[in-house]
Amino acid sequence: MNGGLLVAGTTSDAGKSVVTAGICRWLVRQGVKVAPFKAQNMSLNSFVTREGAEIGRAQAMQAQACRVEPTALMNPVLLKPGGERSSQVVLLGKPVGEMSARGYHGGRQRELLGTVLDCLAELRSTYDAVICEGAGSPAEINLRRTDIVNMGIARGARLPVLVVGDIDRGGVFASFFGTVALLSPEDQELVAGFLVNKFRGDVSLLEPGLDMLHGLTGRRTYGVLPFRHGLGIDEEDGLRVSLRGTVRESSTAPPVGEDVLRVAVCAIPLMSNFTDVDALAAEPGVVVRFVDRPEELADADLVVIPGTRGTVRALRWLRERGLADAIVRRAAEQRPVLGVCGGFQLLGEHIEDDVESRLGHVAGLGVLPVRVRFAPEKTLTRPVGEALGERVEGYEIHHGVADVTGGEPFLTDGGGHPLDGCRVGQTWGTHWHGSLESDGFRRAFLREVAAAAGRRFVPAADTSFAALREEQLDRLGDLIEQHADTDALRRLIESGAPQGLPFIPPGAPA
């Protein structure tokens, strides 16, 4: 096999990422050597590869579904929003500057088409199949001229296109038809068919509509995936989706001890890598909730301040909402607080920022004896260390350089020499993302939190976050295997879009 496929969607959040991961896991279980690919990703949730390249976390998750090591080739362009109108552009894993949306779509994006096609070609020369993920919708007619992630990459690499629609939102038939009808004849030739996602109920009631859709478009539906809870792993976007009041889904197992632990995550602006708390939510008896009001911290046993692409902006937001005062009070009362990356930085004494906000000297919350200076170069590493007597692995993605002037070191090299972070009483800070995925450390940390909070909580002795992630990926593979026409899907990947697909008017505007 030397095949490929582009998984597009009728909308953002239609399920492209998880469908792509599911197809990848299904293929690898069939003995196919497969890799994921997303030409351009806009996300605040990112990951660091072993060679020190920054890519979207969704592509790292998809690489895990393929049982391969993620590389920068799998996500050559990453856009990290710094506000409503500008983003940091990360090219082949390294930041190359800030750019406005108008500037990027006005010419820079099109210039990158050759680069992303070269990356895709390199992957296709190494793997039996490459499953590509689109972005947003391929029918964004205002952006088609410069598109490099949907029909631009499909046309450039002659990839068949499978369009995913979220039926849970309603209007899926109109979305499927309209998506095809707004594409040019050349683009329509590559749209092979549809995949219905998040269906609830009796599929037989849907089938007449699928037959009518086939009659209207000449394109078949390759599967109807049922709605499943807990499959939204490693979401891409922390900018547009409001997490106010959202509860991260936890393990269904009951608590081991007599009490649960309540974790409140401050939903700060430009929140990045909020997937850090997924490892906490995986623990039986740990309830993780995103909050944005000070009163919501009152009954929390642990408050987490996650990463952010705008540390100074997040500081201002915390102060405006009264959360800053509540956090400072918690720290003084020896009630547990954890700051990760940007959350660690804003807990310090002051910040010198001429890179992100360009506001120069800004006073921090003063909870930790740390001074932060933002450097033009970004730290991108995969460190290993020790904390609370346990091995810890993580990854770093930050411009801020921390000068720790007191307290206890958080993470050490195992010989007592500080590596990162700081602890004062029950307030902890670290630049390391992903540290809570280290099972032994997570359990030791939660025991300390429970003791400080006076909770009779006991972490489960056998919770393996890596095993739980594998189970989730297998569930995605099962969805494809059980609810998609896998024979037809495999033919599509191997042979491309069927010949003679009809044109659906009106097509793309001139």
Residue 396 has which token pair? 């770093």
DSSP H helical ranges for 241-354:
278-281, 311-320, 323-332, 342-346
CA 303 to CA 263: how far, in whole Å? 6
Mean pLDDT, residues 495-509: 95
| pLDDT band with cut points at 50, 70 and 90 for residue 99 | confident
d(CA 216, CA 136): 24
Rounded to an integer, what distance in angstroms lies between the CA atom of residue 198 and that of residue 387?
A: 41
- Residue 434: how many other CB atoms lie within 10 Å: 22
Of 279, 163, 177, 167, residue with least CA distance to 222: 163
**Rounded to an integer, what distance in angstroms lies between the CA atom of residue 109 and that of residue 96?**
13
Q: Which one-letter DSSP state was computed for residue 49?
A: -
State the amino acid at position 106 in one-letter form. Answer: G
What integer pLDDT is reported at residue 246 of this predicted model? 53
What is the mean pLDDT of the segment spanning 427-439? Answer: 97
Q: Is pLDDT of 255 > 90?
A: no
Residue 270 above 50 pLDDT? yes
Name the DSSP letter for residue 22. H
pLDDT at position 257 is 86
| pLDDT, position 241 | 41
Q: Does the structure show a pLDDT above 90 at 263?
A: yes
Structure tokens at 206: 């849907």
Q: What does the buried/exposed string (b/e) look like for 83-105 if buried means 16 or more CB atoms within 10 Å of the residue's CB?
A: eeebbbbbbbbebeeebebeebb
Q: Are the CB atoms for 435 and 395 separated by under 8 Å?
A: no
By annotation, the residues acting in catalysis are 341, 433
Q: How far apart are CA 46 and CA 53, in angstroms?
A: 10
Q: Is the pLDDT of residue 239 over 50?
A: no
Q: What is the pLDDT of residue 251?
A: 56
- Lowest-confidence region among 105-109, 289-293, 346-350, 407-411: 105-109
pLDDT average, residue stretch 315-332: 97
Would the pLDDT of 13 be above 50?
yes
3-class state of residue 230 by DSSP: coil
Q: Which residues are CB-neighbours of 337 under 8 A, at least 6 positions away?
A: 302, 303, 304, 305, 327, 330, 331, 347, 367, 426, 427, 428
182-234 pLDDT, tens digit each: 999 999 999 999 999 999 989 999 999 999 999 999 999 999 999 987 665 66
Q: Which one, of 407, 441, 399, lies nearest residue 427 by Cα?
A: 407
Residue 422 confidence (pLDDT) above 90: yes
Phi, psi of 395, deg, nearest 5: -150, 145
Q: What is the mean pLDDT of the chain?
A: 92
pLDDT tens for 46-90 read 999 999 999 999 999 999 999 999 999 999 999 998 876 788 999
Residue ranges of E strands in 116-260: 129-133, 161-166, 191-199, 220-226, 247-248
Q: Which residue has the tokens 């086939």?
A: 214
- Range 428-444 average pLDDT: 97
Kindly state the DSSP code that residue 6 receives in the 8-state scheme.
E
* Separation between Cα atoms, residue 293 and residue 321, nearest integer Å: 7
* pLDDT on residue 252: 59
Angle between the N-to-C axes of helices 16-29 and 465-483, in degrees from 0 to 180, rounded to the nearest 10? 90
Is residue 104 predicted with pLDDT exceeding 80?
no
Whats the size of the chain, residue-wise? 510
Establish whether the linkage from the previous residue to 506 is cis, with ω within 30° of 0: yes
In the prediction, which pLDDT does 82 show? 82
| Residue whose token pair is 């029909």 | 151
Residue 240 pLDDT: 39
CA distance 282 to 124: 35
pLDDT in tens, 122-144: 999 999 999 999 999 999 999 89
Residue 53 sits at φ, ψ, to 5 deg, of -105, 140
Residue 247 has pLDDT above 90, yes or no: no
Pure H helices in 145-221:
151-157, 172-181, 185-188, 203-217
Q: How many CA atoms lie within 13 A of 60 on its CB side?
A: 23
pLDDT digits (tens, 9 = 90+) for 22-46: 999 999 999 999 999 999 999 889 9
